[in-house]
């Protein structure tokens, strides 16, 4: 189900092109956005984590090209929350160009049935489409299942039964929606079997699928789960029935240590994820390593997030490129569902100006483009004083070419008024350890390869 790059999100791309010029709109660290605020939690005593390599509890990620709007990314999800707040404006910086980005699929077992699901660190629910689901268009009209672009649907039911009087309703960033019952089933991932895990079945969907995955495995915090009381499509926070998502259950059941680690590979080959241990990958540079706090991202329309963690949000020390250093500090979300780096407009402009030749903004895409053989800047993200350099290969997308100019898209885009995201452009160059038990993010550099 192919969609036009130029028409898919033209309105948002135009808004992004307007915001990039409005330098006074971007915020500094911890100042609120419409519908979003940030808080650094009080430090507490926690046991140090032993980041051992796991020999069994890891699995390979499969890269698949997205055919939708990438609306499952953290930026798009936050945009949907902003739209829910009066005066929030609903800006979300998911452009048509990122719809061609890479998504990551995982092989798991639902009871004893192999399924492929989309890995998402920006959401928390685990759900699967059922075989006899209804696919709808944006207006709710039922259309052929093929239009939603799922892989094979699940033919069974909940292993331990449905939860009476509850349902799952998820509205993603660009209008994608899934609705269906919740219940309990066994899930096996990376050789770890979680008994009686609460999951959802999607039996009504509006979806932009990749024709491979049949659901989503969310790895964010419990505050972002989407189970609700009622028999209709209620999804107000007053009806919320929060529950422990899959990774939380793994930890509480004593199956793994409270962290997972992701290493995304270049050249769209996928990568590895380890639960309770570091996946066995080569090329780690332990001399380039840093640990920083996860801060609380408070969504105004979700009061649970005012005191609980939600997204994996950190505050880098700044950025350095070609002898220039910017130490302005902005909250940034670590997200495998986002392809590019979405930065404050002046910072995005300055880095794109450092390409040779300089990159130019093409509003139809909501992205910067430069010559496909351009020289990229020597760019690094600074975290706790450590510079994590980004391979220049990752800064120019030679497979995303504007047909009118022949230019290629860069890996640095404007985040407008926010939120700002460190996506796969960064994650291809550092293994990310999501230390949930200590509320920390740890990064280990990877050699250019």
Helix, strand or coil, per DSSP, at residue 254: coil
Catalytic residue among 67, 120, 402, 435: 120
Neighbours of 86 (CB within 10 A): 8
Cα dihedral 213→216→220→221 (10° resolution)? -170
Clarify whether 335 is annotated catalytic. Answer: yes
- The answer to whether the peptide bond before residue 357 is cis (omega within 30 degrees of 0) is yes
Sheet holding 386-389, edge to edge: 324-326, 318-321, 379-383, 386-389
How many angstroms separate the CA atoms of 132 and 129, rounded? 8
Helix, strand or coil, per DSSP, at residue 8: helix
Beta strand segments in 207-259, E: 215-218, 227-229
What φ, ψ does residue 350 adopt, rounded to 5°?
-65, -45
How many angstroms separate the CA atoms of 250 and 193, rounded? 8
How many angstroms separate the CA atoms of 88 and 247, rounded? 32
For the chain, the helix, strand and coil percentages under 3-state DSSP, each to the nearest 5: 15, 40, 45
Report whether 365 contacts 9 (CB < 8 A): no
Report whether 104 contacts 61 (CB < 8 A): yes
CA 331 to chain centre: 15
Beta strand segments in 75-161, E: 102-110, 113-120, 126-136, 142-143
Beta strand segments in 242-329, E: 260-264, 271-275, 284-293, 296-299, 313-314, 318-321, 324-326
Alpha helix ranges (H) inside 295-446? 345-353, 424-427
Catalytic residue among 67, 174, 317, 335: 335
Find where tokens 């290629």 sit: 408
Residues forming the active site: 120, 335
């Amino acid at each position: 189900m192919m969609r036009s790059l130029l028409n898919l999100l033209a309105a948002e791309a135009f808004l992004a092109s307007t915001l990039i010029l409005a330098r006074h709109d971007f915020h500094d660290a911890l100042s609120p956005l419409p519908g979003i605020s940030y808080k650094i939690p009080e430090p507490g005593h926690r046991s140090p984590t032993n980041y051992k390599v796991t020999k069994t509890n890891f699995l390979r990620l499969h890269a698949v090209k997205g055919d939708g709007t990438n609306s499952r990314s953290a930026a798009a999800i936050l945009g949907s929350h902003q739209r829910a707040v009066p005066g929030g404006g609903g800006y979300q910086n998911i452009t048509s160009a990122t719809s061609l980005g890479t998504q990551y699929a995982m092989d798991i077992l639902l009871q004893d049935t192999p399924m492929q699901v989309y890995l998402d660190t920006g959401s928390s629910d685990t759900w699967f489409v059922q075989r006899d689901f209804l696919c709808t268009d944006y207006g709710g009209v039922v259309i052929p299942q093929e239009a939603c672009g799922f892989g094979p649907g699940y033919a069974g039911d909940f292993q331990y039964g449905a939860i009476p009087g509850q349902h799952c309703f998820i509205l993603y960033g660009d209008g994608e929606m899934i609705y269906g019952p919740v219940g309990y089933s066994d899930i096996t991932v990376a050789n770890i079997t979680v008994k009686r895990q609460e999951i959802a079945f999607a039996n009504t969907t509006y979806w932009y699928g990749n024709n491979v995955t049949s659901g989503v495995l969310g790895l964010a915090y419990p505050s972002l789960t989407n189970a609700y009381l009622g028999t209709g499509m209620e999804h107000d926070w007053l009806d919320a029935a929060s529950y422990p998502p899959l990774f939380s259950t793994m930890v509480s059941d004593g199956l793994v240590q409270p962290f997972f680690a992701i290493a995304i590979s270049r050249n769209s080959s996928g990568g590895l994820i380890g639960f309770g241990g570091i996946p066995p990958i080569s090329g780690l540079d332990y001399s380039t390593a840093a640990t920083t706090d996860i801060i609380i991202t408070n969504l105004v329309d979700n009061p649970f997030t005012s005191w609980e963690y939600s997204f994996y949000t950190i505050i880098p020390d700044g950025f350095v490129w070609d002898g220039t250093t910017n130490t302005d500090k902005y909250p940034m979300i670590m997200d495998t569902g986002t392809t590019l780096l979405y930065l404050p407009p002046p910072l995005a402009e300055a880095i794109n100006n450092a390409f040779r030749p300089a990159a130019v903004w093409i509003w139809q895409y909501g992205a910067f483009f430069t010559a496909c053989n351009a020289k990229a800047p020597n760019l690094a993200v600074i975290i706790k004083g450590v510079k994590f350099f980004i391979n220049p290969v990752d800064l120019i997308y030679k497979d995303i070419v504007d047909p009118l100019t022949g230019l290629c898209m860069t890996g640095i885009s404007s985040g407008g008024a926010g939120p700002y995201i460190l996506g796969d452009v960064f994650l291809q160059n550092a293994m990310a350890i999501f230390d949930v038990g200590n509320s920390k993010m740890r990064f280990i550099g990877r050699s250019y390869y």
